[in-house]
Structures are given as structure tokens and as C-alpha cells.
Amino acid sequence: MADLGQLMGTLLASVAHARRIADEETTAIAEYYRSNPLLSGMSIPRIRIPELSLNLPVLITGYAEGEAPKLRDTVAIVSAIEGALEQRLTILQPQQRNKLIEAFRKNLQAELRALRRPSDAQQSENREHVARAVDRAFLQAAETVTTETRLSRPELTAIARDLQQTAREVAYEELGVPPRIDASIITADIKDQASSGTVMRLRLVVREEGLEWDTIEQSDGTTRSALSPE
């Protein structure tokens, strides 16, 4: 049996791949039209499905609650992120760098202690809260010693972004296991094992939205590509 989430993801991915195959055929037809004098002035057919409804019987065979992720201890998190910060501050003089790192360490330790209070047990299991704690700790430290570090605002923003990414990567000691619903859409399974308490109908309405690549010019003169709605 497969996980219900995987089944739904496979169905949606199949629809997306169907659109890709259709677009590939459209480009082949476009080349053919261009090379044919009788067709070159005509519009090129392109098939789009604005909305698709899927209505399938699904056999539910089991459920597992899963396990919540587990955060690393405070010392390990602080050490990993402090190491990442040291690498980004090599442009500073040793005294300036050490002062900023020390302020950041104290701020981050305080932020993580607040996350681990018993009343915030559920919140402390979320690595995004750790990333935000890192961001607050760094910006507070930077404000404390900003006149001495001489880091520009774009530099501070870039460092803060990198530290948040590092926090997300190192926050969890164990990723945990998401909840799982065992299910099948195989006709033979449904016929053999179906009952009023184990079979449901899954109705999905899929609406088509296209994306396109945009080139974005950044403040430092460089460019990057990003997907945006067409």
C-alpha cells in the first residue's frame, strides 16, 4: 500500500507531465507550420486544460501518527551557526569580528533558551522558529557594534539570510516521521477489500496555472532567474 499523500502527489505530477508533453508537441507542430508555406500564416494549436476534475474510489487500509522532529541541543546549534558567521566575517579586523561574534552568541543563547521553555514545547520543535531566533540575534548584535564593523546594509542582509539557512539545516537532530495514511486506488484491491468503512471517494479539482522564467536585476548589478506566474 502507498501513502495517500504520495498517491495524490503522483496524480498531480501526472497532470503536470501531461501538460509538458502537450507543450512539447505544440513546439513540434510550430516548427512544422513554419516550414510549410500553406500553414505558416495560420495560428498554432495549443491544448490547455483550465480545470480538471478527478473522482476516484480510494481504499483506506491504515493510519500511523508519525513522530515529531527533534531539535539539536542549544550548544550544538550555537556552535554550528557561530562557525558559519565566522566564515562570513573574515573581512573584519579580528577585534571587530570577535566582538560581533560574542554579542551574537549571547543573544542566540538567550533566544534559544526562550524557545525551550515548557510552555513553548510545540513551538521549539519548529526549525523556522530557530531560524527567526538566529535572525533576531544577529541583527541585535549588528546594531550593538555597527559603528565599528562598518558592514553595509546589503552585507548585513546577506549574512542574516545565510545564517537563517544554516539554522534550518542544523536545527533538527532527527527529522521525524510525518503522519501516514495507507491507501490504494488499485481496482482489484478495492473490489476485494472494500466496505463502507474503508472506502472513500477522492475528488480533486485541478486548475491550471502557468509559470515563466523572469530575469531580475538586483541592487548590486547582478541578475538572477526566478519563476513567476505568467
Q: What's the CATH number of domain 70-174, 1.20.144, 1.10.274, 1.10.10, 1.10.3470?
A: 1.10.274
pLDDT category at 110 given cuts 50, 70, 90 is very high
Q: Average of pLDDT values for 79-86?
A: 92
What pLDDT score was predicted for residue 118? 56
| Whole-number Å distance between alpha carbons of 230 and 208 | 11
pLDDT category at 123 given cuts 50, 70, 90 is very low
% of the chain surpassing 90 pLDDT = 36
On the question of pLDDT at 122 being above 50, the answer is no
On the question of pLDDT at 120 being above 50, the answer is no
Q: Average of pLDDT values for 122-149?
A: 78
Give the E-state strand segments of 65-198 in sequence order.
70-71, 172-174, 180-184
What pLDDT score was predicted for residue 126? 81
| Whole-number Å distance between alpha carbons of 149 and 101 | 11
On the question of pLDDT at 98 being above 80, the answer is yes
Residue carrying the nine cell digits 554579542: 103
Q: Average of pLDDT values for 69-95?
A: 88
What pLDDT score was predicted for residue 121? 46
What pLDDT score was predicted for residue 156? 85
pLDDT category at 146 given cuts 50, 70, 90 is low
On the question of pLDDT at 116 being above 80, the answer is no
On the question of pLDDT at 125 being above 80, the answer is no
On the question of pLDDT at 148 being above 70, the answer is no
pLDDT higher at 137 or 152: 137
* Range(s) within the chain of domains with CATH label 1.10.274: 70-174
What pLDDT score was predicted for residue 167? 93
What pLDDT score was predicted for residue 124? 44
Please write the tens of the pLDDT for every residue from 165-212. Answer: 999 999 998 888 888 999 988 888 888 887 767 788 889 899 888 888
On the question of pLDDT at 81 being above 50, the answer is yes
What is the DSSP track for 139-204?
HHHHHHHHHHH---HHHHHHHHHHHHHHHHHHSEEE--B--EEEEE--HHHHHHH--TTTEEEEEE
- Collapse the DSSP code of 158 into the 3-class scheme (helix H, G, I; strand E, B; otherwise coil) and give the result: helix
